[in-house]
Chain A
Amino acid sequence: MKNFRKLLLLLFAFELIYAKADPILKTMNEELNRYYRVLSKAQPNPLYFLQFEIMDERRFTISASLGALISENEEHHRYLDVDVRIGSFRLDNTHEIRGTENYDWWSEPVEVPIDDDQKSLKIILWAETDKNFKSAQERFIRIQNERAVKVLESDTSPDFSRAPSEKFLGEIKSISLDGDLWKRRLKNLSKIFKDYPWIYNSQVSLSANSLTKYLVNTDGTQLRHCSMRYTIRIFAETMASDGMELYLSFPVVVTDSPNLPDEENLKCQIDSLIENLDALRNAPVVEPYSGPAILVNRACGVFFHEIFGHRIEGHRQKSEFEGQTFTKKLNERIMPEFISIYDDPTLEKFNGKDLNGHYLFDDEGVRAQRTTVVENGVLKGFLMSRSPIANFPKSNGHGRRQYGKKVVARQGVLYVKSNKEVPFLELRNALIEECRRQKKPYGLLFYDIAGGFTMTGRYGPQTFKVIPLLVKRVYIDGRPDEVVRGVDIVGTPLLSLSKILLTGDDYEIFNGTCGAESGWVPVSAIAPSILVAEIEVEKKAKGQERPPILPAPGEPSRIH
């Protein structure tokens, strides 16, 4: 009894520390408990889970073009998401209603005060909880009716899973940046493009973001954690003489401003980007091709994110609308045995470089966990939010969202690991060998991929399209590599993954932002270069416009 009292006292003291340490968490928690006490007794469908999440976002962006500042913005907003669940863990108001869209694309984030005014925060929390509770009641009745008139779903897993209570009070970080210094730097860097009149659009931009998340829920979870992101993006765009629009972009993402590259380093990146863009605009257009190819590390990361990562997100295995490419393939070989894949948002850095997809807790209050999805080529698991699926009753901390959206399972840091690694040069030789074996005059080398999209829906073909930015032909007769343009990679995931022959040892990071049902979330992918026996490319859609009629305006030296 004494020990129990001690524990209670300790818990009480802990609550007090929290309350003192953060007034926002205190208000959120007090209101959460107040509403839960009442709404958990509401009839006929009481509340069984309630969560408040507030995201405080500060953003500072500057961009320059041709030596001039083109925009400068500083913003600070706070957004609230209220998640209400009525019914039971087995069946609640979030259950999919077949025949209707499960995601509200129109949803608008709710703003809360940035000035720590607790009174108005309370009123907004109250109004949002009331509104969401009422619409949850309405939806739950529809769900109950639907179940009476339709056949049983193929996956009858519960709608929500339990999760341990978590407490974490992270440090609040603020943007630390010498704005004037960076304005000067960006202007100087953007000036380099002045000497290249054939580059129509160019921009060098810097954005600094701080995102502090406050989360409380009726599991007793109370969290405050903060992430920082500084992004530099160099972008240049031109048009080939046949009207094909071409662009290259170079992003750098770091979590601490001192880690941003210096001016000299960025100058080198710009020079190399200009060189590649020049080669690209004069490059021949590739005809549709199917044959061996190497996806160079970063490009490979994007490739895996698009064609594989999205298909192992838990909710896609459950939804009756989804193609469910991998749902029934658990413990089956889906790719060569030398490949293993896991998603580990707890990774902060890789080879000393910051990972954009890192986080401590997901948006359902679950601690981020390393999740093995493929082990030696065999499918072992899925990325899970708190929405269970057959054989996976628990979350592994991948429930993520952008403010204003509903949580679904998303990727964090996708790590493609190989145990059949060779140095890049050997991989290149293997590509030539494979071309010879297939009697192809050349193979393709994909250096950079802009992104892509994948169709996971059941009512469309299960295909993907990846948009390469820089592609080279590697000839078997020893001719130098040749930059080519005008192709997109297309294919079906199962076939493409089975054709991986060998990988490099040159692991690299792709840091980016991924958009899906639950909005935009930061992600990373780590991968080595891979050699694929067969990749299919098709002609890229191309603009029909001519290049500009008049020469670019500018200094006399620019008039050619």
Chain B
Amino acid sequence: MVMIFTFFLIAYSESPSGILFQALSDELNRNISELWLEGQEKPYYLSFRVLDSKGIEIKASLGGLLYSNDFQDRHLYVDLRVGGYQLDNSNFVCEASGFSVIESYETSLPIEDDYFALRQAIWLVTDGTYKRALDKIARKRAYLKNRETTDTIFDFCVVKPYEIIEPIPKLDFNKTKLNQTVVGISRIVQNLPSVFESSVILKGNVSVQYFLDSEGAKSVRADKFYTLDIQAKARGQDGEIIEDFIGFYTKNGELDFAEIEKNLHPWAETLLLKTKLGKTEGYSGPVLFLGQASCELFFQILGKGVSDVRQPIFESEMLKRNIVKQNLGILSGRLGKKVTPNFISVFDDPNMKNYEGIPLLGSFSVDDQGVRAERVELVKEGKLVGLLMSRAPTDKIKASNGHARYANETYGPRYIGFVGNLIIGSTKRVSDSELFTKFKELIRDYGNSYGIVITKLEPTRVESERARYQRLYNLPNKSIPLLSPPINVYKMDLNTGALELIKGFEFSQVTPRILRDIVVTGEKDFVYNFIYNDPYGNKFPVSVVAPAVLIEEVDLIPGETKTTRAPFLSRP
């Protein structure tokens, strides 16, 4: 009778999100109080996270429009925990014990705000997730019982419930005009004579995260994204295939196509220049990282190093074989220790929406676990003092700081702490001319006749699911290098100071120590907005703000080159 009464009292909200929240809330309450299998434990925590995404994707290649499609998608992710904060079904990797018609963890939801259809989908996936959770905690307890373990770190930390409802931005665009723009950009690439493959992908979408949990958190996070990714493959004179990428991203703003075109021409010219270059010899000595290269250096070593710091327990060693080593959390053991020179300080603050007027892509007010985003001091005067935390504590940091991101991995999803807006500070900044003077000094001390300036490291690429699987399948040792290869490299002559573009390098034996070899930093900060595409297909919008850095000694070796013979036919 009580149930019936409850159903009669449902009031439909006028706003579309109201109906979704109502359905989520009613199923959350019903499940947390009633979901129970006899002889088993009840869930102690339940959260629903819905990602509602609507937008457009346009792709052009070599001056032609490949597709221009609208999309709309609504997905529910369930986090259900049994046990308690100290020990629950999370942080444990085991193979799924069979497949079921009832999916668990996630499901797609109706795109329409229909209360009953929404509840039906939420009910089913929650039921499946509960059964998986029971199975998993039983296996985890059995595993721990069999081993001497002193692990007393909690699986889940308590947080203060956070409520925030952000307004939903509108996505306004003229599709025909956008199509023309994308084709226009593609035509610029097409006009490069040595390019034989290229793509321009523009995505515009409004992404809304609805979050609700059994502890009282309730939030709506809404963002409008525009991403423009350009990729081109050209054939060098020596047959080497040269690939380059450039991306433009905005959050809650519009893409400035005039500005993009302005940036595109030098990018295209550099690509063209690279096709005319010959092979390079190895190099050891001082290296100057400028702009994007400096930001990628900090992101790849420091940012990723302080992310995903709670490693799960693996039920068997075999399972580890399929995990891609992507250098996450490698600095977690250095908490309290020196990771950079004293003059470097680093923090991550997702709450920063802009940096010196430039919008930051990595900003958010609430993370994927519904936790309020916090500024985290990561490096203070050279010492590592903080880590990026989800609600999975470590032995040293027991609380979340609102940096959780939902990451789908080989054995299911996890919430990992990850970079939002990584801001690098320095108290040893020098002007550009002083930076080059210092650079020259180091080159001379080293006994070299030239130094290396790197302006761009290879970013993670935008690729199709199939291409990603294929690359993952062929990844040597299932691991990603600590630092991706430099793609824009210049040789600076010690005497004349002239810069000459060279190509074909990769880093040799880089360790996190490279950051401790920073000698001095530049004066100005570079703001780098990008999407980190992880090996599992997860995409994390990130911002890094960093000055140029001069590093005392870096080893570079000639990279493995992919070549192709000259075309049999002339290009049309």
Show the binding face of A for B, using Cβ within 8 Å.
31, 34-35, 38-39, 42, 65-78, 106, 108, 111-115, 117, 119-127, 129-130, 133-134, 194, 200-201, 237, 239, 245, 247, 543-546, 548-550, 552-556, 559
| Contact, CB under 8 Å: A549 / B36 | yes
Which residue of B36, B99, B467, B572 has the most chain A CB atoms within 10 A of its CB atom? B572
27 intermolecular pairs with C-beta atoms under 8 Å apart: A35-B569, A66-B117, A68-B112, A68-B113, A71-B72, A71-B111, A73-B69, A74-B69, A111-B66, A114-B68, A115-B64, A119-B572, A121-B64, A123-B571, A124-B61, A245-B101, A247-B101, A544-B98, A546-B131, A550-B30, A550-B31, A550-B123, A550-B127, A553-B119, A553-B123, A556-B3, A556-B8
For A556, list chain B residues within 8 Å (CB). Answer: 3-4, 7-8
A78–B196 Cα distance when bound, in Å, is 19
CB < 8 Å neighbour of B190 from A69, A123, A545: A123
Q: Which of A125, A129, A134, A194 contacts B116 (CB 8 A)?
A: A194
Please name the residue on chain B nearest to A557 by beta carbon.
Answer: B4
Contact status B65-A115, CB under 8 Å = yes
A interface: dominant SS: mixed
Instruction: Assess A66 versus B64: contact at CB under 8 Å? Given A106-B466, A123-B190, A550-B31.
Output: no
Give the Cβ gap from B473 to chain A, nearest Cβ, in Å.
Answer: 8
Across the interface, which residues of A come within 8 angstroms of B36, CB to CB? 549
B-side interface size class: 35 or more
**Interface of B: prevailing SS:** mixed
Partner of B569, one of A38, A121, A201: A38
Least CB distance, B240 to chain A, in whole angstroms: 15
The answer for the CA separation of A555 and B117 in the assembled complex, in Å, is: 11
A residues near B98, Cβ cutoff 8 Å: 543-545
Q: Provide the bound-state CA to CA distance between A203 and B408, in Å.
A: 27
- Distance in angstroms from B112 CB to nearest chain A CB is 4
B-side contacts of A65, CB under 8 Å:
110, 117, 120-121
B511 contacts which chain A residues (CB < 8 A)?
none
Q: Which of B78-86, B309-317, B416-424, B560-568 forms contacts with chain A? A: B560-568
Query: Could you tell me the distance between the alpha carbons of A114 and B64 in the complex, rounded to whole angstroms?
Result: 7
User: Which of the residues A71, A115, A546 comes within 8 Å of B183, measured between beta carbons?
Assistant: A115
In chain B, residues 100-123, which have Cβ atoms closer than 8 Å to a Cβ of chain A? 100-102, 108-114, 116-123
> Is B470 part of the contact surface with A, judged by Cβ < 8 Å?
yes
| B-side contacts of A70, CB under 8 Å | 108-112, 117
Q: Shortest CB–CB separation between residue B159 and chain A, in angstroms? A: 27
User: Given A75-B69, A543-B99, A553-B123, A68–B118 Cβ distance below 8 Å?
Assistant: yes
Task: Tell me if A114 and B190 are in contact (CB < 8 A).
Answer: no
Q: List residues of chain B with CB under 8 Å of any chain A CB.
A: 3-4, 7-8, 26-27, 30-31, 34-37, 59-72, 98-102, 108-114, 116-124, 127-128, 130-131, 179, 183, 186, 190, 196-197, 464, 466-467, 469-470, 564-565, 567-569, 571-572
Please name all residues of chain B whose beta carbon is closer than 8 Å to the beta carbon of A73 when the two chains form the complex. 69, 71
Q: Contact: B568 with A133, CB < 8 Å?
A: yes
CB neighbours (8 Å) of B34 from chain A are 550
Contacting residue for B65 out of A66, A113, A133, CB 8 A: A113
Least CB distance from B472 to A in Å reads 11
**Inter-subunit contact A72/B72 (CB<8 Å):** yes
**8 nearest CB pairs, A to B:** A113-B64, A68-B114, A120-B64, A68-B117, A117-B64, A122-B572, A245-B101, A553-B119
The residue that B61 contacts in the complex, of A68, A120, A245, with Cβ under 8 A, is A120
Find chain A residues with CB under 8 A from B118 CB.
Answer: 68
Distance to closest chain A CB from B474 (angstroms): 10
Residues of B within 8 A of A66 (CB): 110, 114, 116-117, 120
